[in-house]
Amino acid sequence: MGILNELTSLFSSLSISCETGRMSSPALDTFCVLVPVGESSLWGDDGIDVNVEECVISLFTKENYIALKNRIISALLACGFTVNDRRYIEYEEDTGYFHYEITVESPYPFTANHESEEEV
């Protein structure tokens, strides 16, 4: 399982609508967009042992974003994600959404066909 699958599952358990790249369905009062931003490898014994995947979670809500982001960060940490960055982006006047970003990463065992395992 990769980071996108794990995050999608986590947000489903939190009852928060979530998609990768952009929202294709009509936006709800609260939703998030996952943007994978990078991968790095940890080497050992002359080979890649671990693939570390990083993702930016863009949270959009018309509600109190502070309570919601605290709930999400607690859930991320409980699931073993490393939270690298938390950042308030803006209040979007034209849409009425608060925009908040959380950058996370997680390690996964490296396999030669790693990219084909991820469903986007």
Domain architecture of the chain: domains with CATH: 3-115 (3.30.2000.30)
Specify the pTM: 0.82
Q: How far apart are CA 48 and CA 114, in angstroms?
A: 12
pLDDT category at 26 given cuts 50, 70, 90 is confident
Alpha helices per DSSP H over 2-113: 3-13, 65-78
The per-residue pLDDT for range 42-69, each reduced to its tens digit, is 556 666 567 888 999 999 999 999 999 9
**How much is the mean pLDDT over the chain?**
86
